[in-house]
Amino acid sequence: MGEKKLEMFEIGPCDNPYHMGFLTGQRFSDKIRSRLSTDLILQNQLLPFAKTPESQALIKALTINNQKKFPKYWDELLGTAEGSGVPVLHVLIIIQMILINFRKEILPFLPKSTAGNSNADTSLCNAPDDCSDVLVVSDTMAIAAHNEDANVALVGHTYIIKATLPNGLSFVGYTYAGELPSCAFGFNSNGLAFTLNSVPPSEAEIVAGGIGRNFISRDLLEATSIDDALRKIQSSEVSVGHSYNLINIGARRILNVETASRNRVSVHEVGATPFFHANMYLHLQVEQVEDDNSKSRQERAAILPKRSKDDFLSLLGDTDHKRYPIYMTGPTLYTLCTAMIDLDDKTLSIIEGNPKNGKVACIFSMSTKELSHIEINQYY
């Protein structure tokens, strides 16, 4: 199994956020509708829950709070939904896309009977999303390398949005079909880049109806600086936690920011000691779910060499652990691609296949306002 050719859509400036979303939905209608029909988490967990009385207050609170805080991104999401649908189905598509954009904020509140639905592939539905990052800022190199891991059902359901906004800002976001860009990684013409890692707080740490992480990461694509990005994260009252790797290209800085509900934030500045982050809290004191997958990757990364860019790629391509490898090839979780951000070269490379010998699909220059890119399809 492998990721199909990664498509990119260049868009903008548009008259308004709805129009940008609508054009995106039109362009990737097939991918979006394919995802909605094959996403087992959506079909077997989120949609059945959305039909129950218990779900109404939660979904209403998520909708109201996120629409109020981020009205233009809400319009963009609705535009994407309507652009991807047909008249008879567009209401259902809008509902489904709202659910997948809030899936992390909804899944913790599903009744255990829903999660254990006998008709569902529970191993697939209950698996977390996993990503791995290795980061360093030393005298000799400044690198952020990221494995984008997801459920195998999402293979072939991603694309890149390269957008120019009316104010002149441009951004590039790796995007899951039907979701706001980008809950994975991206950068903008202000020299701000980021990669993301999911973290699993315990049920007691989750607050219903807060701000969704998809909306926060979409807002990061418009950050003016690393300090502005940090303010955007700190000012959002989230339902569940997240780990953000904020990257300032010009200032040669990387911050790892761990968050949790009730406005809890911890910031770690990455330095000369390489920093590996999987899917568990490392410095924010939060009760979290025990995750053997993340523990295994953390332990393996701790003993692997991290002296060069090649070492970073070899680490992210490591398959030594048979059950919980850093580089994932199924049957449940899959590494869709690897992003390599070089702060000194001011480039972002997207690598398909195992990054140890994978194929570079494209390289973006992060040193110009145009965010130019080259499709090269060659081995790293």
CA distance to 63, 122, 241, 296, per residue, from 119 (Å): 29, 9, 30, 31
User: pLDDT digits over 78-113, tens only?
Assistant: 999 999 986 656 788 889 999 999 999 999 998 865
Q: Torsion angle of alpha carbons 287, 290, 294, 299, nearest 10°?
A: 100
User: pLDDT digits over 337-365, tens only?
Assistant: 999 999 999 999 999 999 998 789 899 99
For residue 48, being part of any structural domain is answered with: yes
For residue 54, being part of any structural domain is answered with: yes
For residue 149, being part of any structural domain is answered with: no
pLDDT of amino acid 281: 95
Q: Helix 90-101 vs helix 29-38: angle between axes, to the nearest 10 degrees? A: 70
Q: Cβ(81)–Cβ(94) under 8 Å? A: yes
Confidence category of residue 212, pLDDT binned at 50, 70, 90 = very high
Confidence category of residue 330, pLDDT binned at 50, 70, 90 = confident
Confidence category of residue 369, pLDDT binned at 50, 70, 90 = low
DSSP SS3 for 218:
helix
User: pLDDT digits over 259-274, tens only?
Assistant: 999 999 999 999 999 9
pLDDT of amino acid 377: 54
For residue 367, being part of any structural domain is answered with: no
Question: Which phi and psi (to 5°) does residue 356 adopt?
Answer: -65, -35
pLDDT of amino acid 370: 64
Number of structural domains found in the chain: 1
For residue 116, being part of any structural domain is answered with: no
For residue 263, being part of any structural domain is answered with: no
Which range marks the domain in which residue 93 is found?
Answer: 7-109
For residue 170, being part of any structural domain is answered with: no
Q: How far apart are CA 375 and CA 30, in angstroms?
A: 23
CA distance to 62, 102, 103, 109, per residue, from 113 (Å): 23, 20, 17, 11
pLDDT of amino acid 123: 40
Tokens 């981020």 appear where? 70
Q: How far apart are CA 135 and CA 356, in angstroms?
A: 17
Q: What is the pTM of this model?
A: 0.93
For residue 369, being part of any structural domain is answered with: no
